[in-house]
Amino acid sequence: MTADTSSDLRRKSRQLIKLIRPLLGGIVGLFLVYRLYIVLIVEHPYGPDTWTRLLIAGLILGGVYSLVAIGYTLVYGILFMINFAHGEVMMIGAFSGYFVFEALNAIKIQDSNFLNTYAYFSVLIAFIVGMTVSALTGYFLEKIAYRPLRKAPRLVPLISAIGASIFLQNAVELLFSPQLRNYTNPTFLTRGAGWTININHSNVIIPYTGVFSFVLSAVLLIILYTIVRKTRLGRAMRAVALDKKTAALMGVDVDSTISKTFILSGALAGAAGVMWGIHNGLVYYYTGFIPGIKAFTAAVLGGIGNLPGAMLGGMFLGIVESMGPAALGIDFQLKDVLAFVILIVVLIFKPSGLLGESLAEEKV
């Protein structure tokens, strides 16, 4: 090949590559519009009662995803790394809640047990224990697997995070067996029970557990937002996220701030885990993995490092995951695929997310 044709080819292939992204975007967009049209306008497989059910499920799921997504975003904002093991932190919280409920269920009081006699208190204990254990897990995770690697090239802590994730999953599996554990809820939070409303001659249940999850998620998110915006710790976190060195020079204890960030994000994940257990009932060692990735998708969707973005991204993903397969007329088995596809699409077309700021060009 002479020099001319090789550089010509190079130029042509570069032009071709530049076209690929908009082309892909166009194909995906067209497909979506087509499917939505078919389902919503042509056929009407589902009535408003089903849509309402899906929406409710989506909101509940969204709340959980938001809580976990915040954890990813906080850690990324401060360390620029993806805490791959965050899903496992949530799973550990779920297990802690399970054990608390089991223990309280076993304590006999008159002809009932502790769990149902002091129901509200039991739930409180479960959450406190779950959040504490998860917070501690997050703390030790950072101390053992991430802190020694602060100065390493970026792939090294990521691999360490993957290793930590695998380790935690398998540790829980070996300790407590791979068997699915069933949450014993106190009576006022029985799964499946709730307020009924009648839509389209069909009873749509608004589950107690769901409302509880959603309200608690909202409360925790508000508390977190206040912490980040108004307290000293929040200011320290934002300072370290913006410029570690300068924050240190200004007297911020960087190590302690980072630890506290992990503790905070762990606590939120723990709460999400207990909520998951209460609402969905079944937990086992793999419970955290897929929700973890989805929560990460939500964080990226909203703009990684961006707090309100993570919250919105979580809600958005929950609703889309719940209503998406029905709206697009595809098999419900593929709802996980939907989340992954969203992740890939966002990262290809708008890596800074919907609300995020674009990262500065690389300093040379």
| 9 is a contact residue toward another protein (CB under 8 A) | no
Read off the tokens for 225: 């937002």
Closest to another protein by CB, 181 vs 194, is 181
The C-alpha atoms of residue 231 and residue 225 are separated, in whole angstroms, by 10
Q: Using CB under 8 A, which of the segments 13-21, 235-243, 248-256, 308-316 binds another protein?
A: 13-21
Closest to another protein by CB, 119 vs 293, is 293
Read off the tokens for 266: 């762990």
Buried b (16+ CB within 10 A) or exposed e, 161-199: beebbeebbeebeeeeeeeebebbbbeebebeebeeeee
| 331 is a contact residue toward another protein (CB under 8 A) | yes
Contacts of 211 (CB under 8 A, 6+ apart): 194
Q: Using CB under 8 A, which of the segments 156-164, 195-203, 246-254, 320-328 binds another protein?
A: 156-164
Contacts of 180 (CB under 8 A, 6+ apart): 282, 283, 284
User: What distance lies between CA 182 and its chain's CA centroid?
Assistant: 22
Q: What would the x/- binding string for another protein be over residues 84 to 103, using CB under 8 A?
A: ---------------x--x-
Closest to another protein by CB, 179 vs 198, is 179
Closest to another protein by CB, 52 vs 238, is 238
| 171 is a contact residue toward another protein (CB under 8 A) | yes
In whole angstroms, the minimum distance from the beta carbon of 105 to another protein comes to 12
Pinpoint the alpha helices (H) of 43-189: 48-79, 86-106, 114-117, 119-141, 155-176
For residues 88, 94, 97, 103, the Cα torsion angle rounded to the nearest 10 degrees is: -90
| 177 is a contact residue toward another protein (CB under 8 A) | yes
Read off the tokens for 54: 């899906």
- What residues between 332 and 361 interact with another protein by CB under 8 A? 333-334, 336-337, 340-341, 343-344, 347-348, 351, 360-361
In whole angstroms, the minimum distance from the beta carbon of 330 to another protein comes to 8
The C-alpha atoms of residue 359 and residue 353 are separated, in whole angstroms, by 11
Closest to another protein by CB, 122 vs 217, is 122
3-state secondary structure of 112: strand
| 317 is a contact residue toward another protein (CB under 8 A) | no
Q: What would the x/- binding string for another protein be over residues 266 to 305, using CB under 8 A?
A: ---------------------------x--x---x-----
Buried b (16+ CB within 10 A) or exposed e, 78-110: bbebbbbbbbbbbbbbbbbbbebbeebbeeeee
How is the chain split among helix, strand and coil, in percent rounded to 5? 75, 5, 20
Number of residues that bind another protein (CB under 8 A): 61
| 26 is a contact residue toward another protein (CB under 8 A) | no
In the set 64, 79, 100, 145, which binds another protein (CB under 8 A)?
145
The C-alpha atoms of residue 211 and residue 53 are separated, in whole angstroms, by 13
Instruction: List interacting residues with another protein (CB under 8 A).
Output: 3-4, 6-7, 10, 13, 17, 20-21, 24, 81-82, 99, 102, 144-145, 148-149, 152, 154-160, 162-171, 174-177, 179, 293, 296, 300, 330-331, 333-334, 336-337, 340-341, 343-344, 347-348, 351, 360-362, 364
